């Protein structure tokens, strides 16, 4: 019996008769659905958002990097976006790509994985294969998902259905790397699970599929990748604070250190860390470590340093205005850039949000400008992006550059500065670099 389900699934992959359901059509799930559809598989795209499903059914895309044309082409042929979980019964493979946020106390919030597991269990049948892609702590697949699926379905993994973990490595806005050319790590509950999951991904991932011995290895792989960034970003942020006191330009130092052809990788200081991965994923490992009585200090200390950069950025605004004889209270501050990293339209966990709130709470008024984001909603209100940088600079006492959108490198700062009431720029991304202006008070991180 056990051999049957795996042999049967392998046959269906080879013949491309395997029906694939992707649960969660966000920046991870939709690109994956597109690639499997382009590879002639029948794909069910399941999402709980009626909006997303209707946008897709109208042949439109809401994910940067996926065109409306691409959606139109696959919709007609073999991509079926739906909110109807019953269709999951038809699928041979079900890949969970839902968010894994944090609770307020920075512990894992697995509610979306749980609800995806419930939808799967309600529509499960023998012979199916489930893969979890959402970033989570080591042990989730083997000690939680496996049990949730077995308990609610009455079926047994390895006999009735297969189970594996494969971390997503999607980088929103990255024009160079996507599903096809990013190597994929896969860890199944048993060897056969790993084999079958790897075989499935090999149909769309041309950069190679790496098989590991257990799901928890694959879960830990993803966390190491992102904790590596989290800690190194915190390190360069702390270096920036130290070098600022030593009157050393940290960007010049980074440039010089980057000439070392081995053993060094540049990171850049900034106003803090945003996005859907780096501010969240490391705490998943902290949680798992604390469950075993350990407290990984690097992760928590790095989080404190990265969070402090948002406060430091606003301190520079306040200090600069003081030097210009203008208290921050009742000043007008322009915020350049809302998204969490350059040239994308994603404000999730963006440092700009906490920086905006802090500036308001210190008594200033705020204008915002971001070429990719029309409006953001915060606990101190909603803010619409003004139409141009001119409108942002006009009448402002200070402008803080929070996101290094490429567009900001080519502005005519001489004329923009002339429009300011007081002339302070706080540059948290080294956008202005060597630019000089004798009328300008210029602070940078």
**Across-strand partners of 121?**
none
Of residues 113, 234, 277, 344, which has the active-site annotation? 277
Q: At what angle do helices 111-122 and 146-153 cross, to 10 degrees?
A: 30
Distance separating alpha carbons of residues 220 and 139, to the nearest angstrom: 9
Distance separating alpha carbons of residues 186 and 7, to the nearest angstrom: 18
Distances from the Cα of 33 to the Cαs of 79, 96, 174, 352, in angstroms? 8, 11, 18, 32
Nearer residue to ligand SAJ within complex by CB, 331 or 428: 428
Helix, strand, or coil (residue 416)? helix
Nearer residue to ligand SAJ within complex by CB, 138 or 162: 138
Nearer residue to ligand SAJ within complex by CB, 275 or 389: 275
Is position 97 annotated as part of the catalytic site?
A: no
Asked whether the beta carbons of 18 and 93 are under 8 A apart, the reply is: yes
- CB 190: neighbour CB atoms within 10 A? 16
Please provide residue 306's backbone torsions phi and psi, each rounded to the nearest 5 degrees.
-60, -40
Structure tokens at 113: 């994985």
Q: Cβ 46 to ligand SAJ, closest distance in Å?
A: 21
Distance separating alpha carbons of residues 57 and 145, to the nearest angstrom: 31
**Across-strand partners of 268?**
none
Please provide residue 323's backbone torsions phi and psi, each rounded to the nearest 5 degrees.
-60, -25
- CB 222: neighbour CB atoms within 10 A? 24
> Rounded to the nearest 5 degrees, what angle is found at the Cα of 319, between the Cα atoms of 316 and 325?
140
Burial 164-174 (b: 16+ CB within 10 A, else e): bbbbbbbbbee
Q: Cβ 424 to ligand SAJ, closest distance in Å?
A: 22
Q: Cβ 372 to ligand SAJ, closest distance in Å?
A: 14
Nearer residue to ligand SAJ within complex by CB, 134 or 141: 134
Nearer residue to ligand SAJ within complex by CB, 27 or 369: 27
Q: Cβ 328 to ligand SAJ, closest distance in Å?
A: 24
Asked whether the beta carbons of 167 and 221 are under 8 A apart, the reply is: yes
Q: Cβ 172 to ligand SAJ, closest distance in Å?
A: 6
Please provide residue 88's backbone torsions phi and psi, each rounded to the nearest 5 degrees.
-65, -20
Q: Cβ 404 to ligand SAJ, closest distance in Å?
A: 8
Q: Cβ 234 to ligand SAJ, closest distance in Å?
A: 9
Nearer residue to ligand SAJ within complex by CB, 6 or 137: 137
Nearer residue to ligand SAJ within complex by CB, 81 or 274: 274
Site residues (vs ligand SAJ, CB under 6 A): 168-172, 225-226, 229, 233, 267-268, 270, 273-275, 277-278, 340-341
Contacting residues for 22 by C-beta, under 8 A, at least 6 apart: 29, 30, 32, 33, 36, 43, 44, 45, 46, 95, 97
Q: What residues are annotated to the active site?
A: 277
């Amino acid at each position: 019996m056990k051999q049957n389900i795996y042999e049967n699934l392998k046959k269906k992959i080879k013949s491309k008769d395997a029906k694939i359901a992707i649960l969660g059509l966000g920046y991870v799930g939709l690109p994956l659905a597109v690639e499997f559809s382009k590879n002639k598989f029948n794909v069910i795209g399941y999402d709980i958002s009626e909006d997303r499903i209707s946008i897709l059914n109208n042949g439109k895309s809401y994910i940067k990097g996926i065109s409306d044309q691409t959606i139109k082409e696959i919709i007609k042929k073999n991509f079926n976006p739906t909110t109807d979980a019953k269709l999951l019964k038809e699928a041979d493979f079900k890949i969970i790509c839902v968010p894994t946020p944090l609770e307020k106390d920075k512990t894992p919030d697995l509610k979306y994985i749980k609800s995806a597991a419930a939808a799967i269990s309600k529509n499960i049948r023998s012979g199916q294969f489930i893969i979890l892609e959402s970033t989570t702590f080591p042990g989730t697949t083997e000690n939680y998902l496996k049990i949730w699926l077995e308990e609610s379905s009455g079926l047994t993994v390895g006999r009735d259905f297969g189970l594996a973990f494969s971390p997503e490595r999607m980088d929103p806005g990255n024009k160079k790397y996507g599903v096809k050319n990013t190597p994929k790590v896969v860890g199944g509950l048993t060897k056969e699970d790993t084999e079958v999951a790897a075989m499935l991904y090999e149909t769309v991932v041309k950069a190679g599929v790496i098989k590991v011995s257990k799901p928890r290895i694959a879960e830990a792989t993803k966390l190491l990748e992102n904790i590596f960034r989290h800690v190194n970003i915190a390190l360069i942020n702390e270096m920036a604070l130290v070098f600022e006191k030593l009157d050393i330009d940290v960007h010049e130092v980074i440039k010089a250190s980057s000439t070392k052809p081995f053993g060094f990788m540049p990171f850049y200081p900034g106003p803090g860390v945003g996005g859907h991965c780096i501010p969240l994923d490391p705490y998943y490992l902290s949680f798992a470590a604390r469950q075993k009585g350990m407290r990984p200090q690097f992760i928590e200390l790095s989080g404190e340093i990265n969070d402090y950069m948002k406060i430091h950025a606003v301190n520079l605004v306040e200090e600069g205005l003081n030097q210009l004889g203008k208290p921050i209270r009742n000043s007008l501050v322009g915020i350049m850039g809302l998204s969490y990293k350059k040239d994308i339209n994603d404000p999730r966990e963006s440092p700009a949000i906490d920086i905006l709130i802090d500036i308001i709470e210190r008594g200033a008024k705020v204008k915002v400008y971001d070429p990719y984001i029309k409006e953001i909603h915060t606990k101190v209100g909603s803010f619409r992006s003004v139409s141009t940088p001119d409108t942002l600079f006009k009448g402002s006492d200070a402008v803080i550059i929070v996101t290094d959108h490429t567009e900001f490198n080519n502005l005519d700062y001489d004329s923009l500065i002339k429009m300011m009431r007081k002339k302070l720029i706080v540059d948290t991304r080294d956008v202005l670099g060597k630019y000089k202006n004798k009328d300008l008070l210029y602070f940078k991180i």
